[in-house]
Amino acid sequence: MKEKIDKLLNEIAEFRTEKKEELEQYRLKYLSKKGLIPSLFGDFKLVAPDLRKEVGQALNSLKNKAQEKFNDLQSQIEDKATDDQKVGDLTLPVDFEELGSRHPLSIVRNKIIDIFARIGFTVSEGPEIEDDFHNFTALNFPEEHPARDMQDTFFIEKNPDLALRTHTSSVQVRVMENTQPPIRTISPGRVFRNEAISARAHCIFHQVEGLYINKNVSFADLKQTLIYFARELFGEHTKIRLRPSYFPFTEPSAEMDISCNICGGKGCNICKYTGWVEILGCGMVDPNVLENCGIDSKEYTGFAFGMGIERITMLKYQIDDIRLFFENDKRFLKQFKSAL
Ligand code: PHE
């Protein structure tokens, strides 16, 4: 028995092939039901009891080695076959490069632009590095306003008159300087604030701000425009509510909540069990701002609003951490492939 096992061990160790058919012969000869190794197992009952342990171990090890050899040769042959096919068979389908998809912030920005374009708003853009006049002074920020503080704003060290814009209201100042009413425009873009990064806040984020100036524009126009917007973006059953607020550049000012689109207003952890979530700031443009930009505030009135695209996107797609937008993890981005 021992000699037989050793003989087979040698044969197996020496066996080489690159051919599928020869490997099949090997399997039939050694491993198949009627092969040499199973028949040795059949003879095992003839082994003297005191040798059984030793012979049993040798048999098992022979069987394992034979099977391993078979597995190795089989995968070598298969690998080679696919390699050959890749080079040789031009009719095989190609390996596709994965297609990318739009970033969720771009998807939502485009949806917002579309919604306002349908009611006549154009898109305006402006510089991300702004001077004090366009970011603050023209917008009626008093000299000592906390938003001018280093805590909130990234100033350019060599020229303290320049800063990274803290909102895109600066773009609207530029539009008003260069155009007489009627003005109906939105300004999407990147803004910067000196904030600690957390799940809810980031020092870089995106806004869309809107401005409408004409004769006889009233708060009712603002409200109707915002109801239209909220229903287009979050669905026709969305309700809005306006709460009094303060901004230096609008009077009166308000913050707008929408009925929570997650729980439908019943109360959940997204709306902190209030049924409402805040989505934007708005108000009637302060006459001082119109005058600062060369528009006659006796003839014209207007409204303005501004929202963070990250916040809107988080609410729309139930995303719970703002940092996900900046990490560009493909597992996150892929989920928006069909959201276009
Ligand atoms: N500029 C404000 C902000 O960045 C938003 C806003 C715009 C509020 C227009 C009212 C009117 O927070």
pLDDT in tens, 91-118: 878 777 778 889 999 999 999 999 999 9
Q: Which atom of ligand 1 is nearest to the CA of 166?
A: 4
DSSP 125-182: ---SEEEHHHHTGGGT--TT-GGGSTTT--B-TT-TTEEE-SSTHHHHHHHHHH-PSP
**Residue 89 pLDDT exceeds 90:** no
Q: Give the pLDDT score at 251.
A: 97
pLDDT in tens, 53-70: 999 999 999 999 999 999
Among 8-12, 112-116, 120-124, 298-302, where is mean pLDDT lowest?
A: 8-12
> Given CA atoms 286, 287, 293, 297 in this order, what sign does their dihedral have?
positive
**pLDDT over 70 at 131, yes or no:** yes
- β-bridge pairing 122-123 and 183-192: parallel
| 3-state secondary structure (DSSP) of residue 91 | coil
For 226-237, the three-class secondary structure string (H helix, E strand, C coil) is HHHHHHHHHCCC
Pick from 173, 212, 166, 211: nearest CA to 189 = 166
Instruction: Kindly give the distance from the C-alpha atom of residue 280 to the centroid of ligand 1, in angstroms, as a whole number.
Output: 8
Band of residue 340 on the pLDDT scale cut at 50, 70, 90 = low
Cβ of 309 closer than 6 Å to ligand 1, yes or no, is no
Q: How wide is the angle at C-alpha 267 spanned by C-alphas 272 and 227, nearest 5°? A: 90
pLDDT score recorded for residue 333: 93
Q: In this predicted structure, what is the pLDDT of residue 311?
A: 94
Distance 154 CA to ligand 1 centre (A): 18
Region 239-259: mean pLDDT is 96
- Among 247, 208, 243, 246, which Cα is nearest to 223's? 243
330-339 per-position pLDDT tens digit = 999 999 987 7
Which residue puts its alpha carbon closest to atom 9 of ligand 1? 305
- Cis preceding-peptide flag for 252 (omega within 30 of 0): yes
Alpha carbons within 13 A on the beta-carbon side of 52: 8
| Number of Cβ atoms within 10 Å of the Cβ of 197 | 12
Q: Whose CA is nearest to atom 5 of ligand 1?
A: 306
- In whole angstroms, how far apart are CA 287 and each of 74, 107, 307? 83, 35, 22
The per-residue pLDDT for range 134-191, each reduced to its tens digit, is 999 999 998 888 777 766 889 888 888 999 999 999 999 999 999 999 999 999 999 9
Mean pLDDT (whole number) for 295-303: 98
Q: Domain-by-domain residue ranges, the chain?
A: 2-88, 104-339
Judge if the beta carbon of residue 247 lies within 6 A of ligand 1. yes
> What pTM, to 2 d.p., does this model score?
0.72
98: phi > 0 → left, psi -120 to 50 → alpha, else beta; which?
Answer: beta
The answer on pLDDT for 87 being more than 90 is no
Q: Which residue has the higher pLDDT, 264 or 151?
A: 264
Task: Evaluate: CB of 302 within 6 angstroms of ligand 1.
Answer: no
How far apart are the C-alpha atoms of 151 and 132, rounded to whole Å? 16
Average pLDDT, the chain: 92
| 325 in Cβ contact with 229 (< 8 Å) | no
Interval 230-256 mean pLDDT: 96
List the residue whose alpha carbon is closest to atom 7 of ligand 1: 306
Tokens of 57: 């171990």
User: Which of the pair, 50 or 340, is modelled with greater confidence?
Assistant: 50
Amino acid letter at 339?
A: A
Selecting from 3.40.190.100, 3.40.190.10, 3.30.930.10, 1.10.1280.10, what CATH number does the domain 104-339 have? 3.30.930.10
